[in-house]
Every structure is written in C-alpha cells, then in structure tokens.
Amino acid sequence: MSSAHATGVWDYIIIGAGSSGCVLANRLSSDPACRVLLLEAGGSARNFWLKLPVGYFRTIYDKRFSWQFPTEPQVETGGRTIVWPRGKVLGGSSAINGLLYIRGQHADYDDWERLGATGWGYRNVLPFFKRSERYAGKPSQYHGIDGELSVSDLRNDHPYCRAWLQAGHEAGFEATDDFNGAQDSGLGAYQLTLRGHWRCSAADAFLTPIASRPNLTIATGAFVRRIVIEKGRAVGVEWVRDGQQVAGRAEREVLLAAGALQSPQLLQLSGVGPAALLARHGIGVQVDAPDCGQNLQDHYQARVVVKLKHRRSLNDDVRNPLKLMQMGAQWAFGQRGPLTVGAGQVGGMVCSQHAEGGRPDLLFNVMPLSVDKPGDPLHTFSGFSASATQCRPRSMGHVGIRSDDPAVPPRIVTNYLTEPHDVKVLVSGLEILRDIYQRPSFRDLLAKDEYAPGHGIQSNAELEDYARNKGGTVFHASGTCRMGSDERAVVDPELRVRGIDRLRVVDASVMPRMVSTNTNAAAILIGEKGAALIQSAA
C-alpha cells in the first residue's frame, strides 16, 4: 500500500465522525466479529460550550471547533466571501449546529426516489428515522422512542414567540404541533436534539456509549490524504497523524462520510472526479466522474430584525445579572429556559405566492434576540429576529480541488441567487415576515424602528438588493456526490461509488436534492439506512 506505514487491517474504514459517520461506526461495530476504524481529522468534543445547548453561538465560528471554508465571492451576493463553518470535532457539524431536529417535508424523500434514488421515498425512510430516535414527547407512529438520538420538544416558552405564532395564524397560516409528524408544514415550535441539560450530538448519541467496544478503533487528529484504489477497488486509506503519514487496509469497504465539501474533495484527490480537473492537478484518473463536486446546494437566508417596545428580548436578559441567575436556575433545576434553545425556537414552512402545487417553499426561523451573526455579541437594543429561507433553491454550485495537497481547502462556488426564481421567493419571504410583525398579536410589541432591512427599504428591488448583500448561509451544504440511477450519478441508490468497488459515500453529499429544512436529521438518516445497506451486502 504505497510507501505509507501500514498501521493495521480492518473490515471497514470510515472517513469522518460526523452525523452519518457516528451512526455507521455504531451500527457496523455492533457485530463483534466486524473490525471498524473511524477516522476523524478533528479532536474530542469535551469543551463546555460544545455541550451547553445555546453554546453554538460561541462555537460555530471558533476555529478550535470548526473548519472555516471560504466560498468564492460572486456578484449575485455582493462580491462577498461567505465563510462556511463545518464541525471539527467528534460529532462533526452536529456538535456545533443549532440543534434543530426537523426531517424535512415528506415529499422531499419522494423527490429523491423520483430522481432515481430507488428505495429512498418517504415510506422507505420513515422506519430509519424512527430507529435512531429517542423522542421525549407524545408517542406517535412518526417517532421512535428506543433509539439513541435524544429529541425533545421546545423547552423555552417565550411570550413573544407565542405572540409571533399567533400573528402568523392571523396572517392566514395554519398551525402544526409536530413538523416531524403527519403535518410537516405550517407554523409551530421546533424540536431539538437535547438530552437532559445538554446537547445531544451524533457523537453523544451513537459514539460515546460504544467507544469502548474492542472491535472499534477511533482515531482523532487523523487527516485523511486519499483513498487507496487498486485495480478499480478501494483497498485502504492514507492519513496523517501527529505529523506521520500512516495507512490502513480495509478488507470489506471504505466508507466516505466527510460531508458535502470534503467527500467530493477526497474522491477527487483519489482519482474519482472530472478528468480535466484531475489532470490539471496531476492526479491519475481512476474514474472520470464529471458530476463529482457538482449539484452543490445550500439554504440562503435573509432576516427581518425588529426593535421591541419593552425590554423583553434575550438581548436584555443576558445583560441583567438577575435574569442571568434565573436562566441558570431554570437550566440547572428544570432543564428548561433560554440556555436550552437552538437556532430557532419557533417558525415553520409556508407557501409564498410563487409556490408550486400548494407545497410550502419558505422556511422561517424565529428567535427573541438579535445578532449580526453567531459569535458576535447580541445587539444592545431589544431585538427580535425572523429569517426567511427558500426551502428548495434552484441555484446550484460546485466544489473542486485547488491542489493535489489535501490541506488546501477546495474551491467552493455557491451560485447563490443565480436563478431568478430563488430571488423572487426570498423577497416574498421578507414581505411575509414584515406582514406577520404587523398583525394584531405582535404589532403593539414593536418600537418604531426596524433594524433590518429598515423602513427605508420597501420596493421589491430594494428588498432584493438587501437580501443579496446582507443574507448568508444556513450551513446546510449538500448534494455534491449525488445519488441516482443514471450514469452520471456519483453513487447509486446503495451509495456505492460508480466505477469503484468497495467504496461508498454515506453523508449529506448524496442528497439528489437538499431537504426543505435543516439537514442534520437527514444526515443521520443517511447513516442509518446506509449502515443497513452495507450490512445486508456483507
């Protein structure tokens, strides 16, 4: 296996301990005769702020805990470089995300099947969602209660969030009490990945409880350089750890779960990708896969931030010692309150005027606070925020290597808002949010000034300019190793890389189209169903 020092032989080598990789490690190592190696370039997730639910405000842009991938500047979004953070610890992005557990619309998965991902329709995937889940709420046919991933209903009842929901109903939008149940649209409260006082990341749920299995090896600080392919077959992996290049052999399969940015990057570095791109960097072509790195999708959001008449925002509470003590007591003694919140307390999915077939095309996230971006201090005024995101953007980008050096981040072209339809839906979302704020249940709570976009911005053209220049990522990169039944699909419906034996991609990169909501629940599903496919083929 090249000149790298061989460190051992396993049945399966998993690259990446993120949402999908942790599930794979758990399920495959449940067979004591099966030897599993899990490689993670980041470190452990023992920091307090990684455990505290609201701690994502501090960790998501902290370079100790997340990779910071710059995107290419583009005219359509104001010539800005937008940074995409991705998890750099065990648990991957599930350790730094906003904790929302929302699977997406039922129709999202039926779309996958229609696009050639046979066996991935909603009825097929629901049992795998339930298998992973330990839901603390009301039992139903849509939730699991015996799985490892702890899911909780919202534990912070803020009166202004209740007022916003009521205002949304006054604007004509229906209510739902469970986005993961029978009614996947409307407005309501979000569910979160919480266990007791703490965040429940994929590592907390699936990895930590089984880390002592003798047949499971977990290597942190292992920066993978390439997948070793011999005669059209994946036989092992090379990585660097503590400055030393090492390698391991996989007797059954190599499983790539490095995420929507680094899975296509590693495939390309290993000779699977667009032939012209590989040749440009002196990489021998194992498989000419022109779509490897294409089909990049992400949710792009813009927000309406208002100022409140009364000091009832969390912006105010965090600067009030008595309120801070109250929050701490709520969390410590009741496992409730503002310290348990995620990136959205309430919100939902509704139809814009451009929705097709009555299917919601807007996703809202609402918080009783305001900030320019996570990691920045909360505003000093009493703020309240609501963001609009197009559920299924038509604009798609691509990811490609810049060098044959794995340490060089890939080139990320987002192509945000390059499709006119995406802009129209986003502008409509901002108009709807403004309308909800002016409904009877909320309008009397408002101060005179709107912080963003601001009362001076009113026309569609002005709102479009605001969205292009002030909007940003919702951290949902997906789709770059598309699953399908056509010849250009990077992986087939069994997640096997076309043209290479014993190599699969099992993460959010395989989504033919991104789900309408946050992607973490779907990434865990992909790990769950992927493990079942692997075990059935063994």
Tell me: domain 5-537, CATH 2.60.40.1930, correct? no
pLDDT single digits (tens) 389-414: 999 999 999 999 999 999 999 999 99
Task: Answer yes or no: pTM beyond 0.95.
Answer: yes
Q: DSSP letter at 97? A: S
- pLDDT at position 7 is 75
Alpha-carbon dihedral of residues 93, 96, 97, 100, nearest 10 degrees?
110
- Classify 16 as helix, strand or coil: coil
A 10 A CB-CB count for 369 gives: 22
- C-alpha to C-alpha distance for 70 and 68, rounded to whole angstroms: 6
Q: Helical H runs in 205-252?
A: none
* Amino acid letter, residue 4: A
- pLDDT at position 375 is 75
- Closest by Cα among 393, 411, 377 to 467: 393
- C-alpha to C-alpha distance for 59 and 2, rounded to whole angstroms: 38
* Burial of 104 from C-beta contacts in 10 A (0-12 / 13-18 / 19+): buried
Q: How would you label 17-35 residue by residue, b for 16+ Cβ within 10 Å and e otherwise?
A: bbbbbbbbbbbbbeeeebb
- pLDDT at position 373 is 80
- C-alpha to C-alpha distance for 36 and 30, rounded to whole angstroms: 10
- Closest by Cα among 486, 483, 508 to 494: 483
In the block, which residue shows the tokens 């189209």? 513
Could you give phi then psi for residue 397, rounded to 5 degrees?
A: -115, -155
Q: Which residues pair with 197 in a beta bridge?
A: none
Angle CA 322–325–327, to nearest 5: 110
> Where are the chain's structural domains?
5-537
Active site annotation includes 476: yes
Cβ–Cβ under 8 Å, residues 140 and 129: no
Alpha-carbon dihedral of residues 513, 510, 93, 196, nearest 10 degrees?
80
Q: List the chain residues with pLDDT less than 50.
A: 1-6
Q: Going edge to edge, which strands form the sheet with 133-135?
A: 133-135, 149-153, 191-192
In the block, which residue shows the tokens 């020092």? 5
- pLDDT at position 190 is 98
- C-alpha to C-alpha distance for 52 and 194, rounded to whole angstroms: 10
